Structure 1
Amino acid sequence: MFEESFPKVLLHSKQNVLDHFRFECMLTCWNEFGACWRSAEFGPTEVLHYESAFLPALEEARPSANEAIMQYRTHGDVSVVVNKVCGLYSALLKYSAYHLGNLYGHGIDWRTVPSTTEPLNDHWFLPYFERLDSACKAIAMNIGNWKACAAFDELKDIAEEVVADGGMHFKRHEEDRISLDIPMTIETMPVPPQFWR
C-alpha cells in the first residue's frame, strides 16, 4: 500500500544519515503498528503480549543511550554513537508501535491499561508515546487512501525528537550535509576516576 501510494520512494533514493534514520524508524513503526492491528484477531490471544517487550525498552533506553554517549566521550567514534543511540531509541519506538497496534486491534485504549499507564506516568517518553499513538491511528484510519506524507512525516519527526531529547542533535546544512552536536550534560559526562567506587 505504501509503494502504491508513494511510488519510487522505497529503495529508490540515497539518503543522508539523518534522513535514513527518520525514514527507517517511520517505516518500522508503521509496519509494526499496522501488522499488530490487522492481525490482532488471530494473533496472540494475550492482549498485553507486546507489553513484555515495550516495558523493558521503556526502562532501559535512556540509561543505555546515556552510557553510549559517555563512552563516545572517550572513543570519539561518531558512527558508533549514532548507531547505538539511534538503535536504542528506534527499538523503543518500535516496541511501542507493536504494543499500541495490538491494543488498537483489540479495541483497547492504552490509557485504560494500568500496567502501561503507570510506568509512563511522569516519564520523559510519555508525550512521544501519545504522539506515536495518534500518528499511527491517523495513518490507519486512511489506510489505502493516503494522499500525502504528512502523517508519515509526523512519525519521522517523533523519531528525531526522541533522539534530540536524549542529547543527540542533528543539524542540516547546504548540499545535504549533516552535522551532529552532543552537548555535555550531567547524565552523559564520564565519571572522573576520583568518584569511582
Structure 2
Amino acid sequence: MNQPETNPDAPLPRPSTFPDGLRVQVQGFDDQQAADGLGEQLTALFVQMGRYFDIQRLDGVTIAIDYEEALRSLDRGCATRELAPSRGRTVGVAMTPSVLRDGVLKSHVFVDAAVFFGMLKEDRYERAMQLLAHECAHVEVNAHYDRCFPDTLLRTKYMNAQQGARSEVILASWDEYAACALSAKRGENPEADYRETFLNDLADARERGNECIKAYRLHSQVGQIVREIREIYGGLMKHAAYYLGNAAGFGKSWRDDPAVAEALTEHWFLPFFERLETALAALYAELGVWPNHDGFEVIGDIGEDLMCEGGMYFYDSPDHPGEVGVQLPLTPDTVPY
C-alpha cells in the first residue's frame, strides 16, 4: 500500500492520539500473514491520523471482508439494538459506533474491506484516506459530546416514540455535519457524492412519505409508520448535513453551488434547510464546549416540524401523562403542501 509523500522538514501538528498498544484488525482474508501485514501498515496510517484527529477514545479498528457480520458481532458493552450497514438508497461501507468499556464511552471504527481495498487497487488512494479520516472525525465528535453530556450516549432510555425520534434526528444530523467539517480537507473532496445523495432525497422525499402514509392505511402499524417517516425526513436532514458540513469545512456556501441553489429555489424544504444550516453551524462554533443541550434541541425541533410538514406529528396523550400519540392525515391527499 503506497504512502503519501511527506515533507520531512514540516512540523507535525501534534503527538499522535492513537492509543498505545492498539492494532488495526484485518478480518476475512485467507492469507493471515498478508492480513497481518496490512494491519500493521494501516495501524501506522492511523497513528498518523491521530496527529490530526483526537482519537484517544478509539476502541479499535476492524476492516472486514464480512462487514455485516463484523458489525453484528460487536460487543457494545450494554444492551442495545444490533448494528447493521445502511441499505437501500445509500449503502454503508464504514461506521463508527459507540461502545462502553469499563464505564468509559469509546468508538470502534468498522470499514468494509472489499470497498476499501478496492479503492486502493483502483489507485483511489485519496478517496480511501477521506473515508478513514471521516471515521476518525466521528471518534473525536463522539468524545466531545460525551465529555459535555456524560451518561447520555448508549445510556439513555427514551420514554416514548417522540423522544426516540428526536434523538435519532439530532445525533444523525449533528454527527455527520461535524465529521464532514472536521475531515473536509483530508483526502479527496467528497462534495459531488454528498451533493448527489442530498439532491436525490430532496427530489422525492415527499412522494416517498406519502406512499408510506397510504400503506399505513392498510397495515395500521403505528411503530412502522413512525420509523418510516422518521427515516425519510430524518434522512433528508442527515444528507443535507453531510453536504453542509463538507461545505463548511471548505469555507464554501451552498448558495454558490448552482445545482443545489437551483434545486432549493422555491422548494418546500428551503426554510428547513436554512434553519438546519444555522443550527449546525452554531453548534460547530462551540465544538466540545457547549454549555447546555439547547442547541441540539433546536435540531430536534426542526426534525419534528419537518415530519409534521410531511403529515405526521406527535401529541401529548390526555389520558396517560408522559405518553404521546401519533397523528396522521385521514387520507394521503391531506398531507400539507
CA spacing shift, 1:4–1:46, aligned 2, 3 Å: closer
CA spacing shift, 1:179–1:43, aligned 2, 3 Å: farther
- Give the gaps of 5 or more residues in structure 2: 1-143
- Correspondence 1:13 to 2:13: no
CA spacing shift, 1:185–1:120, aligned 2, 3 Å: farther
Contact 2:210 2:332 (8 Å CA) reproduced: no
Contact 1:170 1:179 (8 Å CA) reproduced: yes
- Counterparts of residues 84-95 of structure 1 (less than 5 Å): 84-95=228-239
Q: Distance in 2 between matches of 1:179 and 1:65?
A: 19
What is residue 205 of structure 2 aligned with on the other side?
61
What is residue 109 of structure 1 aligned with on the other side?
253
Structure with bigger RCO (C-alpha 8 Å, 6+ apart):
1
Percent identity, please. 37
How much does 1:48 deviate? 3.2
Q: Distance in 2 between matches of 1:28 and 1:73?
A: 29
From 136, 157, 173, the equivalent of 2:301 is 157
How much does 1:175 deviate? 2.9
Of 38-47 and 137-146, more deviation after overlay is shown by 38-47
TM-score calculated relative to the size of structure 2: 0.54
How much does 1:185 deviate? 4.9
CA spacing shift, 1:44–1:175, aligned 2, 3 Å: farther
Q: Distance in 1 between matches of 2:295 and 2:204?
A: 28
Contact 2:312 2:327 (8 Å CA) reproduced: yes
- Matched position secondary structure for 1:30: helix
CA spacing shift, 1:46–1:14, aligned 2, 3 Å: closer
Structure with the higher helix share, 1 or 2: 1
Q: Distance in 1 between matches of 2:332 and 2:257?
A: 34
Of 177-186 and 117-126, more deviation after overlay is shown by 177-186
TM-score calculated relative to the size of structure 1: 0.91
Q: Distance in 2 between matches of 1:165 and 1:21?
A: 15
Contact 1:66 1:188 (8 Å CA) reproduced: no
Of 37-46 and 163-172, more deviation after overlay is shown by 37-46
Q: Distance in 1 between matches of 2:157 and 2:196?
A: 36
From 115, 120, 133, the equivalent of 2:277 is 133
CA spacing shift, 1:180–1:108, aligned 2, 3 Å: same
CA spacing shift, 1:43–1:65, aligned 2, 3 Å: farther
Deviant stretches of 4+, over 4 Å: none
Q: Distance in 1 between matches of 2:245 and 2:189?
A: 14
Contact 2:208 2:232 (8 Å CA) reproduced: yes
CA spacing shift, 1:29–1:186, aligned 2, 3 Å: closer
How much does 1:73 deviate? 1.2
What is residue 333 of structure 2 aligned with on the other side?
187
Q: Distance in 2 between matches of 1:151 and 1:35?
A: 17
Q: Distance in 2 between matches of 1:95 and 1:78?
A: 25
Structure with the higher strand share, 1 or 2: 2
From 165, 177, 189, the equivalent of 2:323 is 177
How much does 1:23 deviate? 0.7
What is residue 195 of structure 1 aligned with on the other side?
none
Aligned residues: 189
Q: Distance in 2 between matches of 1:147 and 1:34?
A: 18
From 223, 231, 256, the equivalent of 1:79 is 223
- Matched position secondary structure for 2:325: strand
